[in-house]
A and B are shown apart, each in its own frame.
Chain A
Amino acid sequence: MPATVALAVARYRPEEEPAPTLQTYEVPFREDWVVLDALNYIKDRLDGSLSFRWSCRMGVCGSCGMKVNGTPVLTCAAFLSEHLPGPIRVEPLDYFPVVRDLVVDLSDFMRKLKKVKPWILREEEKPLAEGEYRQTPDQLDAYKQFSMCINCMLCYSACPIYGLEPSFIGPAAIALAQRYNMDSRDQGARERLEILSGYDGIWQCTFVGECTKVCPKNVDPAGAIQQYKLTSAVHWLKTLLPWGAR
């Protein structure tokens, strides 16, 4: 095992330089270190000006997503030992505007997320006295997988369609819409249909499948999109019937 390993880290300081550059740092190599540990070492010991986001260090908060050697990963789950010999390239996620160094601007996703109404919609709330909305284990299973999303944006960074069509709602937002569509307590599927089936929705997807591959939480956004394509196509067929849905 090497004593040190080199990290080639993307730097971008908009007030100083017109375009991002790579800066190389030599950090101690430790078997139990992940890329995020190495970045924190750089920040603490070598260069306090390096900017990046992180919080939980355990794959829960979703804020430490970056590209490591070209692949979008959670840096708190990417071991240095998996990327030897180095230099290990650390870059911000693709397709999002870079604010500084490894920090990207997620406003685009936040706007899209709101559009799919990722919360339980009811036509009518039942009175409190009637108690909670109960679910069977099967009803929970129908959406549980989609509810595991931590908004890490790895799937957007891996999606070539999002790169080509920035207006595409994208994998996580669609998976989160399905998370509520498939929830037995929710009655908002009709309200989400227009945005999901519209120009920027599921039909942009050509089933590249990279989103599912990079997702650290096994959400399977590609599966959610395919599932919704069928829902939407069936709805479309029904609109052809004289008594069909509108």
Chain B
Amino acid sequence: MGRPITPFLWLLFSVGGTVSALLFPVHLFLTGLAIPLGWIDPPRYEALIGLLRHPITRLYLFVIIAFPLVHWAHRFRYTLYDGLQIKHLTALIVVFCYGAALVGSAAAAYLLWNIP
């Protein structure tokens, strides 16, 4: 902490928090409640894949996956630090948390890029 990188991580963390707080409920509502309960008609496969192929959709999906992952990483890092009081393992924790977020984001980017 206090190293010059902290404000940057916090900005990403804030963006991730905002993104998940604003957008996740919409998706949860649509795919978790409204569609399964038949409140709205499920979109057809062709329509969905068409939507998914659009670059803006892919970018959008990347944003709502990558930023919340970083948000998780930052939060979990401090949960480990203070909750378990294992601050002496800083290097390991940092690599694990941000590493996981990075790998997850890279996997998301790879999959989104390669949508047939």
**What string of 1s and 0s marks CB contacts (under 8 Å) between B3-23 and chain A?**
010111011001000000000
Q: How far is it, in angstroms, between the C-alpha of A197 and the C-alpha of B2 when the chains are bound? A: 7
A164→B85 contact, CB < 8 A: yes
Quick one: which of B2, B78, B82 contacts A198, CB cutoff 8 A? B2
Q: Is A232 located at the chain interface by the 8 A CB criterion?
A: yes
B2→A236 contact, CB < 8 A: no
A199→B1 contact, CB < 8 A: yes
A206→B82 contact, CB < 8 A: yes
B1-54 contacts to A (CB < 8 Å)? 1-2, 4, 6-8, 10-11, 14
**What string of 1s and 0s marks CB contacts (under 8 Å) between B72-83 and chain A?**
000000100010
B1→A204 contact, CB < 8 A: yes
Question: From DSSP, what is the main secondary structure of chain B's interface residues?
Answer: helix
B6→A203 contact, CB < 8 A: yes
Name which residue of chain A comes closest to B82, CB basis.
Answer: A164
Q: How large is the interface on B (under 10, 10 to 19, 20 to 34, 35 or more residues)?
A: 10 to 19
B10→A203 contact, CB < 8 A: yes
A233-B7, A236-B7, A236-B8 are known contacts. Are A206 and B2 too (CB-CB below 8 A)? no
Chain A interfacial residues counted at CB < 8 A: 18
B82→A160 contact, CB < 8 A: yes
Name which residue of chain B comes closest to A206, CB basis.
Answer: B78
Q: How far is the CB of B62 from chain A (nearest CB, A)?
A: 22
A197-246 contacts to B (CB < 8 Å)? 197-201, 203-204, 206, 229-230, 232-233, 235-237
A232→B85 contact, CB < 8 A: no
Task: Please name all residues of chain A whose beta carbon is closer than 8 Å to the beta carbon of B2 when the two chains form the complex.
Answer: 197-201, 203
A137-193 contacts to B (CB < 8 Å)? 160-161, 164
The interface of chain A, by Cβ under 8 A from chain B, is 160-161, 164, 197-201, 203-204, 206, 229-230, 232-233, 235-237
The interface of chain B, by Cβ under 8 A from chain A, is 1-2, 4, 6-8, 10-11, 14, 78, 82, 85
Jot down 17 A-B pairs with beta carbons below 8 A, ordered by A: A161-B82, A197-B7, A199-B1, A199-B2, A201-B2, A203-B6, A203-B10, A204-B1, A206-B82, A229-B7, A229-B10, A230-B14, A233-B8, A233-B11, A235-B7, A237-B7, A237-B11
